[in-house]
Amino acid sequence: MICINPIIERYKMKRALSFVLIFSAIVAVSSTPRVSHILFETLETLASDSLEGRQPGTPGGEKAVDYLVQKIKDMGVTPFGRGGYKQDFTIFTKMEKVGDNSASIEGVVAPKFQPLSMSLTGSLKERELVFVGYGISIPKSDEKLVYDDYEGLDVKGKIVVFMSGDPAIGNSESKFRDPAYITYRTLFYKIKNAAAHGAAGVLYVQDPLSLTRSEEDPFFDEREGGGDRIDTVAGQVRMDFINQFLGQKSLRARQEEIAHTQKPSSEVLNKKANLSVKLEKKTGRVSNVIAYLPGTDEELKKEIIVIGAHMDHLGYGGPSSLGDRRVRAIHNGADDNASGTALVMDMIKELKDKNLKRTVIAVLFNAEEMGLLGSAHFMNSWPRYEPSYGKIVAMLNFDMVGRFKKSVQVMATDSAKEWSGILKNITPVDEHPFEFSKESVGSSDHASFANSKVPVLFFTTGGHDDYHRPSDDASKIDYSSIQKTRVFATDLIEFMDNNDSNLTFNPDFSMGTGSDRPRGYGAHLGCVPKFGQSDDIVGVLCTGTSPNSPAESAGMQAGDILSRVGEIDIKNIYDLVFALKYYRAGDKVLLSWKRGRAILTKEVTLTKKGGSKSLHKSCHFPLAHEL
């Protein structure tokens, strides 16, 4: 027997009534076309608290998958392949603490110690302790700023202590306030820099000028680092614990000194420390959701147009959140990317009865926020589907399309020579403004297709202040704009289908790094990494090189595995991003890469990053179409 709670039932009735009233209001005030019920309902459902931010591998993420599958079934859409409406793949879900996780200095055990989830599993005994300020090293070739917390110190095999933040804290005139230097304050960079200097261990501590005592307790972020490890044992301790071993200068005094002088205040502490971290990587199965709309022409149905959007978001925040990461709050991701998912669901409904000659496959990708994993899996597995289904001739991606400002951006028109001519034939509803851009960014799922030389278009309304924050809610969505974008995209597909539009991928097409932040003074290599590469690969698998890049001049080819840049060993994409921050444009470095069983080397001169500022997303972890 079900026990009914009258309070809950009243809440449900009020919420249902609110849904009807809000939807009716939107339909009433919007100009043609009317906002479709499936678009509105899908977005409101995905962005509701009940789905807990749709993080892959969580109950909320699974609810999102099940909801979308059921909606597609209800439309009477054909299942795709053996998996039906789902395409399963394995992802990293979390790092789990196992065994001893502890730190001590001079025999005093650190209270409330927490390992960092990027840490190497290992145990360090009686290691010398070195305070290295913020743990930052600006390359010597930087003409604007001179700063190195490691200068004059030998930290090989030792444990280093560094603070959060950078020398701009407490100094409004600091050169570190230039957004180009923002990378140097990230925890990822600091741990990598410690490893690059040979440190065996890291103790990370919150800086006292930024945080109150109540905020300083270490916490374990089980998803930080995405399952990749850095070759250093690393953990976090409290400020008051470290202060016991800093002598007459407290952590606050040292930070104030750095703020005043803009010079390091590093010191060998003549103390011995122990550090133990034991973590285990956990994985889980998640699913892309696929809707298959087979073409009616016996020949042309082998030409496939993919429409896609990622369904996942950040759950309760985690490492990619730009909100207060110490406050556990649901990140509903209404714009990112319930908006794109809702648009694609509406497209499925509109296209399924059009009897198109060509096949349309709609894919709602999972684990995009973890590094385009769903779209990478889809493309990596496509060769086994191609003999039965055909060739993917185009991909349209919809990511963050719900916060209309001045225009809807349609990016990557240079990915096929024919796009510009085709797009001129599509008339927007109500003269809704669309802005076309030859360039694009690599921080969304179309990058997985462009890497495979598939012509792409990327639809977005761009970034905003609620991006990757708990405030990205459905109440801020412009439903009318999404509907007009859906009509434009549907008309585009119908035009392509009726006019036998053959697309030719542009080999010179390249994308930017996908960040709203200024791109800084990092160097450019031109290796195009493969997203979602196998965990068995040590290095960065390149799918090709960008034109006129150092990687191209070195003779690197698709399928090569980059293993070293200058002094930096490359084990994963994070190492490569660090290396290109460690060096500067104009630096000469020796590249090493594997081609089959051969090891190839070549000295190259790194160049400056090109391209324009992105209109889209800013990733906490590095993610780039080319590096």
Name which of 392, 391, 288 is nearest 344 in CA terms.
288
Give the C-alpha separation, 351 to 28, whole Å. Answer: 25
pLDDT tens digits, residue range 290-347? 999 999 999 999 999 999 999 999 999 877 888 876 678 999 999 999 999 999 999 9
Residues 329 and 375 in one domain: yes
CATH code for the domain in which residue 534 is found: 2.30.42.10
- The answer to whether residues 602 and 590 touch, using CB atoms and an 8 Å cutoff, is yes
Cis-peptide into 428, omega within 30 deg: no
Residues 295 and 323 in one domain: yes
More confident residue, 611 or 228: 228
pLDDT at 609 over 70: no
pLDDT tens digits, residue range 81-92? 888 999 999 998
Residues 480 and 568 in one domain: no
Give residues with Cβ within 8 angstroms of 279, minimum separation 6: 95, 96, 97, 98, 101, 115, 117, 119, 121
Residues 450 and 534 in one domain: no
The two tokens of residue 483 are 């509907």
Residues 448 and 552 in one domain: no
pLDDT tens digits, residue range 541-568? 998 888 789 999 999 998 999 999 998 8
Total domains present in the chain = 3
55 found inside a domain: yes
Residues 149 and 232 in one domain: yes
Domain that holds residue 588: 523-608
Residues 128 and 240 in one domain: yes
- CA pseudo-torsion sign 210, 213, 217, 218: positive
Q: Which residues pair with 285 in a beta bridge?
A: 90
Domain boundary among 209, 244, 277: 277
The two tokens of residue 146 are 């001179």
Question: Across residues 15-28, what is the average pLDDT?
Answer: 42
617 found inside a domain: no
Q: Which residues pair with 595 in a beta bridge?
A: 598
- The answer to whether residues 417 and 501 touch, using CB atoms and an 8 Å cutoff, is no
**Helix crossing, 37-46 with 59-74: angle to 10°?**
170
Residues 130 and 231 in one domain: yes
159 found inside a domain: yes
CATH code for the domain in which residue 356 is found: 3.40.630.10
| pTM assigned to the model | 0.79
Per DSSP, the three-state class of 316 is coil
CATH code for the domain in which residue 119 is found: 3.50.30.30
The string of DSSP letters for 360-429 reads EEEEEES-STTTSHHHHHHHHHHHHHHHHH-EEEEEEEE-S-S--SS-EEEE-GGGBTTHHHHHTTPPPG
Question: Across residues 102-111, what is the average pLDDT?
Answer: 98
SS (H, E, C) 524-552: ECCEEECCCCCCCCCCEEEEEECCCCHHH
613 found inside a domain: no
The two tokens of residue 262 are 């803009």
Which amino acid makes up residue 177? R
More confident residue, 82 or 590: 590
Q: What are the CA-CA distances from residue 429 to residues 353, 426, 433, 459 (Å)?
A: 21, 9, 9, 16
514 found inside a domain: no
Residues 89 and 103 in one domain: no
Residues 332 and 399 in one domain: yes
440 found inside a domain: yes
Q: What Rg, from alpha-carbon coordinates, does the chain have?
A: 26
503 found inside a domain: no
Domain boundary among 254, 277, 300: 277
Domain boundary among 251, 277, 303: 277
Residues 87 and 105 in one domain: no
Residues 268 and 409 in one domain: no
Neighbours of 305 (CB within 10 A): 23
- Identify the pLDDT of residue 581: 82
Name which of 62, 29, 64 is nearest 43 in CA terms.
64
More confident residue, 218 or 391: 391
511 found inside a domain: no
